[in-house]
Amino acid sequence: MKTRSWLVAASVADLLFLYLPIAILIVFSFNASKLSARWQGFSLEWYAKLFTDQALLAATVNSLIVATVSTVLAVVLGVLTAVALERQPFRWQGAFEGLLLMPIVIPEIMMGVAMLLFFVMIKLPLSLLTMIIAHTIFNFPVVALIVRARLRKLDPRLEEAARDLGATPWVAFKRVTLPLLMPGIVGALLMAFTLSLDDFIISFFTAGVGSTTLPIKVYGMLKSAVTPDLLGGARSMMIGNLIQHQYLVVRDWPFGSALSFVLMAAVLAALLYYLRAGGARSL
């Protein structure tokens, strides 16, 4: 009983360590003060500035376009690859699986440079298209791994039974295998979308004129020393270094907190959708 009490206390302490700073962040996102952590009244000013900054909104639209299109392509390629690897073994499959893992294993900067050299070599102008191609390449192995892990748990006899009852291979896959794979596909989709939306290094090497995404915009603002409000807006996409810069250097706490709250709300909404779609049962 004493051991159980210690475990409960440790769990509560872990939760407080993880979520108490987030709670403080949400509270200070409504703070009227800009340069200090003292509470100086309730204000929605920072949320108004967040949704009226045209430069950040344009960069956000580009990020959403790249993330959405590359995620759809990555899911299609990843599901097909996972099914092929799990259901149709072939010669040199081990070597193919090793190559499949390369975009995940190699450093992002190496992949970014490689993609840049490739696009220059084939004379493809840098644009949203090159970014979508690059994001699809590093995303679809992630999707393939997640979907294959889900596929490995399924009983292949279910699909065989459908075939015995007269279903074609495509109908058996569509009516039996695909619905059972859906929780894994949704999870892989959310993972791929998050990785693409948050990516900076590969995007930096493959972006062209007019295709600036939010992480790239943030980096440019950091180098050009723009106002603290805009720097606060970038914090949501580069959660590591930008949090430190926002709170320790710029000290624009309320604006950064407001954007953090919006980001967390979006992530929570996506998570709830996934759980309602059946992700909880797959766990």
Question: Is 78 domain-assigned?
Answer: yes
237 and 214 Cβ atoms separated by less than 8 Å: yes
Name 42's bridge partners.
31
In a domain, 106, yes or no: yes
Does any domain span residue 152?
A: yes
> Quick one: pLDDT at residue 231?
36
Domain membership of residue 264 as a residue range: 50-282
What's the pLDDT at 12?
84
C-alpha span between 223 and 158 (Å, rounded): 57
Can you give the pTM of this predicted structure?
0.69
SS (H, E, C) the chain: CHHHHHHHHHHHHHHHHHHHHHHHHHHHCCECCCCCCCCCCECCHHHHHHCCCHHHHHHHHHHHHHHHHHHHHHHHHHHHHHHHHHHCCCCCHHHHHHHHHHHHHCCHHHHHHHHHHHHHHCCCCCCHHHHHHHHHHHHHHHHHHHHHHHHHCCCHHHHHHHHHCCCCHHHHHHHHHHHHHHHHHHHHHHHHHHHHHHCCHHHHHHCCCCCCCHHHHHHHHHHHCCCHHHHHHHCCCCCCHHHHHHHHHHCCHHHHHHHHHHHHHHHHHHHHHHHHHHHHHHC
User: Can you list the residues of the chain whose pLDDT is less than 70?
Assistant: 1-3, 34-37, 221-283
Per-residue pLDDT, 183: 87
What pLDDT is stored for residue 262 in this prediction? 62
pLDDT of residue 69: 95
For the chain, the domain total comes to 1
Residue of 222, 181, 184 whose CA lies nearest to 204: 222
pLDDT of residue 224: 55
Residues 6+ apart with CB under 8 A from 83: 147, 151, 173, 177
> Could you tell me if residue 133 is inside a domain?
yes
Which residue is listed with tokens 């990785």? 195
* Burial of 236 per CB tally in 10 Å (0-12, 13-18, 19+): buried
Short-list 144, 159, 180, CA closest to 282: 180
* Residue 234 is assigned to a structural domain of this protein: yes
Looking at residue 74, what is its pLDDT?
94
Instruction: State CA 202 to chain mean position distance.
Output: 14
Tokens of 43: 């204000």
Q: Please report, for the domain that includes residue 164, its CATH number.
A: 1.10.3720.10
User: Residue 24 falls within a domain, yes or no?
Assistant: no
Q: Does residue 16 lie within any of the structural domains?
A: no
Is 90 within a domain? Answer: yes
CA distance linking residue 277 with residue 181, whole number of Å: 12
